[in-house]
Amino acid sequence: MQIALLGFGVVGGGVYAICQDRSDLRVTRVLVRSDKPEIAAIATRSMDDIVNDPAIDTVAEVMGGIHPAKEYVEAALNAGKHVVTANKALIAACGDELTALAKKNGVSLRCTAAVGGGIPWLVNLERIKRLDTVSEVGGIMNGTTNFIMDAMHTSGAAFGDVLAQAQALGYAEADPSADIDGDDIRRKLAISAGVAFDVSVEETAIPTFGIRTVTDGDITAFRQRGFVCKLLATAMRCQDGVCAFVEPTLVRAGEPEAAVGANYNLITYTADRIGRQSFFGQGAGRFPTAGNVVQDCLDILGGKTAFYADISRRTSLAEDAVSHPYYVRTAAPDEFLRSVTVDTWGGGVITSAVGVDTMLRWAKAKLQEDPGCFVAGIR
């Protein structure tokens, strides 16, 4: 297999290094934005050099973002080349279009590294569906937020201090918004739900609340009552279709998610016959992520042509199909919150069971009035 890499950053460099040790995979072109002396002989600034090279049969897109990645991937698929990508933003936003284009051109589109980094999550989700019906998927899908929540629980440090530590270690970007506001995990959930339930899920329709406003006082209240707070993603089959949401969640200290430390992920599916199976590992990193890109290339080399599921059918998300109690802390309580309050924990209150969509919409609106508002579901 002759591979063209789109991008030569952390993951692209890892793919290149892995392929250097193999005889069945050769990186023969690399699309770059700046000079890379170590690959000068195969570097190009033009996508046309890749599209018009008949010897290249597979394109590995590891540049990230939606544009121009989408246009490059479309050009590769239209040129009859297989595409492997680690780009969760692209697949979450355009997966149904791109899978249809791959099918039309008789080529493969694979994206195992887009969800879970080095965890072989999507391929195992695809595999279980051959003999069972998946009823729920989700879990810890973002290493940055897990590092922050774990450190706050173990050290008692404030959110800002732990975020700065995560940035210093390279776990968080200079602008950490996509992680701490839940956008990253929401994209991964949209892809996972699509594969699990054979539908196309509109990523931006998934109710989401992040961890930006959590405080060490909140964490103290949780620990005193035997809970650990994690940013969790959940999607499940329900009577009206599919329910999906992302929110800080209080789990009992003995549950598997509570024990996940540092920047690790724990992603889970529940199936009717098999029950619960979870996948633990690095959710990012050079070689873990690059390894799944290369595994996709090997699957294609072995004859794998289909996407993980048929995601051509767009579904709307069921509202308030799931209800549970919430911890809510706000400096601006209102009539709705007072009407559902049943207890007090430290600086926050506990509600009766409230529909997820109702509560997360309320919380998002409340942030405009009280920028420090924080909510967490109680499982």
Q: What are the residue numbers of the active site?
A: 188
Cis peptide before 256 (omega within 30 of 0): no
How many other β-carbons are positioned within 10 Å of the β-carbon of residue 135?
A: 14
The length of the chain, given as a count of residues:
379
Per the CB < 8 A criterion, the answer to whether 177 and 155 are in contact is no
Q: In whole angstroms, what is the distance from residue 222 CA to residue 227 CA?
A: 5
Residue 95 token pair: 């997966």
* In the block, residue with structure tokens 């579904």: 315
Is the dihedral angle over the CA atoms 329, 331, 332, 335 positive or is it negative?
positive
Q: In whole angstroms, what is the distance from residue 107 CA to residue 58 CA?
A: 9
**C-alpha of 293 from chain center:** 16
Residue 197 token pair: 């339930």
Q: In whole angstroms, what is the distance from residue 6 CA to residue 58 CA?
A: 11
Residue 243 corresponds to which amino acid? C
Q: How many helices (H) and strands (E) does the chain have?
A: 13, 19
Is the dihedral angle over the CA atoms 234, 238, 240, 242 positive or is it negative?
positive
Residue 284 — φ and ψ, nearest 5°? Answer: -160, -170
Per the CB < 8 A criterion, the answer to whether 318 and 300 are in contact is no
Strands 264-271 and 134-140: antiparallel
Per the CB < 8 A criterion, the answer to whether 299 and 58 are in contact is no
Please state, in angstroms and as integers, the Cα–Cα distance from residue 237 to each residue in 100, 133, 193, 224, following that order: 24, 10, 9, 34
Q: In whole angstroms, what is the distance from residue 229 CA to residue 232 CA?
A: 9
**C-alpha of 289 from chain center:** 13
Per the CB < 8 A criterion, the answer to whether 233 and 187 are in contact is no
